[in-house]
């Protein structure tokens, strides 16, 4: 019932996030100017300015993310239709955008004269050795990788992360409880819409809407006169969920304003939203665990805004050249016998875990 309903493409987003974790989570995927050309080296997938991305790099990123997805959702996930194409096509394009972003941030590092220090280079080399050792000879051959290639990939990934951390170092990390406050409520929803055969939401009008309001009003009177709210929820709630934890700005505005004004155990009057008529009861007006988690989210959004201010100014200065024929020849399932999925796990364990907080 949040303002933005979940859709099937959340699967895709989850997969990409799982593959590329939190290191570059604040960076928006924006495009450089795309130029198609035939002037490419062998196995060069794309080039941004003078920085190339080679086929082995794409293979590692693609296979790692693919295997993580299949572990969670099964092989059939790639047949799901999405925006008039298959999920595999959208997945591939997202990988390309993310790798291009890493390359672009490395070019930003050159401009800002940000480099890895000797200790960071040592950690990256150690990670490359560890990951390469996990590959069978057949996997390494299929991915076209050497230990040096893995080192280069880790080094670029680490440098992109360092650029992000450097440019966001001055972000204010103080967040008050009030700003981050997350509450938990239980609710009864009486819907004022139905879903037609085309999957479209059709709002009630006239007598049907009046009937929904009358039913909700009756439930409100019963709740206000002491009838067990949980029992009413169980018997009459028409939402798929009965309990929500959320921060400010997540729910529809009318719902949000009422919910955050309630005291613990207080029951609201009827609230109308696009979903229907709601009666909510405050379970807690400050969910400590969720509030603390939201503080981290707020700081991350501040970092994202600060980074993107610099990144957005830099991006238009870049020119990207895509080897369209080579890119189209790459398939999500072309390395079926390659089961590796620990590229980022090894990086986290070897590089991130050894860095001071």
Cα 216 to chain centroid, rounded: 36
Q: With cut-offs at 50, 70 and 90, classify the pLDDT of residue 4.
A: very low
Q: Which tokens in the block code for residue 296?
A: 């981290």
pLDDT tens profile 153-164: 999 999 999 999
| Residue 169 pLDDT > 90 | yes
- Range with lowest mean pLDDT among 27-31, 95-99, 162-166, 227-231: 27-31
In whole angstroms, give the CA distance from residue 73 to residue 137: 28
In the chain, pLDDT over 90 holds for what percent of residues? Answer: 75
In the chain, pLDDT over 70 holds for what percent of residues? Answer: 87
The sheet with strand 319-322 has its strands ordered as 33-36, 319-322, 44-48, 51-54
Helix axes 343-350, 55-73, angle to 10 degrees: 100
Q: Is 189 helix (H, G, I), strand (E, B) or coil?
A: strand
Long-range CB contact pairs, 111-120, < 8 A, 24+? 111/314, 112/163, 112/166, 112/167, 114/159, 114/162, 114/163, 114/166, 115/159, 116/155, 116/158, 116/159, 116/162, 120/158, 120/162, 120/351, 120/355
Rounded (10°) CA dihedral 243, 246, 249, 254: 30
Helix (H) or strand (E) holding 165: helix 147-167
The phi and psi torsions of 278 (rounded to 5 degrees) equal: -120, 145
What was the pLDDT predicted at 192?
97
Task: Specify the DSSP class assigned to residue 232.
Answer: H
**Helix, strand, coil % in the chain, rounded to nearest 5:** 55, 15, 30
In whole angstroms, give the CA distance from residue 28 to residue 98: 9
What was the pLDDT predicted at 248?
94
Mean pLDDT across the stretch 182-191?
Answer: 97
In whole angstroms, give the CA distance from residue 29 to residue 320: 14
Indicate the pTM of the whole model: 0.77
Q: Which tokens in the block code for residue 139?
A: 């996997």
| Residue 20 pLDDT > 90 | no
What was the pLDDT predicted at 352?
76
User: What is the location of CATH 3.10.50.40 in the chain?
Assistant: 182-285
Mean pLDDT across the stretch 102-119?
Answer: 96
Helix axes 229-236, 206-224, angle to 10 degrees: 160
Q: Is 91 helix (H, G, I), strand (E, B) or coil?
A: helix
β partners of residue 284: 184
Q: Contact, 181 vs 262, CB < 8 A?
A: no
In whole angstroms, give the CA distance from residue 226 to residue 277: 20
In whole angstroms, give the CA distance from residue 91 to residue 85: 11
Q: How many C-beta neighbours within 10 Å does residue 10 have?
A: 9
Q: Contact, 224 vs 280, CB < 8 A?
A: no
Mean pLDDT across the stretch 289-310?
Answer: 95
Helix (H) or strand (E) holding 194: strand 193-195
> What fold characterizes domain 182-285?
Chitinase A; domain 3 (3.10.50)
* Of residues 333, 331, 328, the one with CA closest to residue 70: 333
* Of residues 248, 240, 263, 253, the one with CA closest to residue 187: 240
Q: Contact, 192 vs 211, CB < 8 A?
A: no
């Amino acid at each position: 019932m949040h303002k933005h309903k979940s859709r099937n493409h959340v699967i895709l987003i989850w997969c990409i996030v799982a593959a590329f974790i939190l290191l570059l989570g604040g960076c928006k995927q924006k495009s450089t100017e795309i130029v198609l050309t035939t002037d490419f080296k062998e196995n060069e997938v794309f080039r941004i300015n003078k920085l190339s991305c080679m086929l082995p790099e794409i293979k590692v990123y693609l296979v790692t993310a693919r295997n993580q997805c299949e572990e969670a959702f099964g092989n059939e996930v790639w047949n799901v239709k999405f925006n008039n194409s298959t999920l595999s096509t959208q997945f591939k394009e997202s990988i390309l955008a993310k790798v291009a972003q890493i390359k672009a941030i490395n070019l930003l590092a050159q401009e800002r004269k940000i480099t890895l220090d000797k200790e960071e280079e040592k950690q990256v080399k150690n990670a490359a050795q560890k990951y390469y050792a996990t590959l069978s000879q057949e996997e390494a051959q299929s991915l076209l990788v050497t230990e040096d290639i893995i080192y280069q990939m880790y080094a670029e990934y680490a440098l992109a992360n360092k650029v992000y951390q450097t440019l966001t170092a001055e972000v204010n990390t103080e967040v008050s409880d009030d700003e981050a406050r997350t509450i938990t409520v239980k609710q009864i929803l009486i819907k004022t819409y139905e879903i037609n055969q085309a999957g479209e939401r059709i709002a009630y009008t006239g007598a049907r809407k009046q009937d929904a309001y009358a039913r909700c009003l009756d439930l409100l009177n019963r709740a206000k006169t002491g009838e067990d709210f949980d029992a009413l929820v169980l018997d009459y709630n028409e939402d798929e969920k009965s309990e929500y934890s959320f921060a400010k700005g997540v729910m529809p505005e009318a719902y949000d304003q009422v919910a955050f004004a309630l005291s613990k155990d207080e029951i609201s009057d009827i609230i109308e939203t696009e979903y229907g008529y709601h009666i909510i009861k405050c379970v807690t007006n400050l969910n400590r665990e969720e509030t603390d988690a939201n503080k981290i989210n707020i700081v991350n959004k501040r970092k994202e805004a600060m980074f993107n201010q610099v990144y957005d100014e830099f991006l238009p200065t870049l020119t990207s050249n895509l080897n369209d024929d080579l890119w189209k020849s790459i398939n999500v399932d072309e390395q079926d016998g390659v089961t590796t999925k620990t590229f980022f796990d090894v990086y986290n364990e070897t590089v991130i875990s050894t860095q001071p907080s």
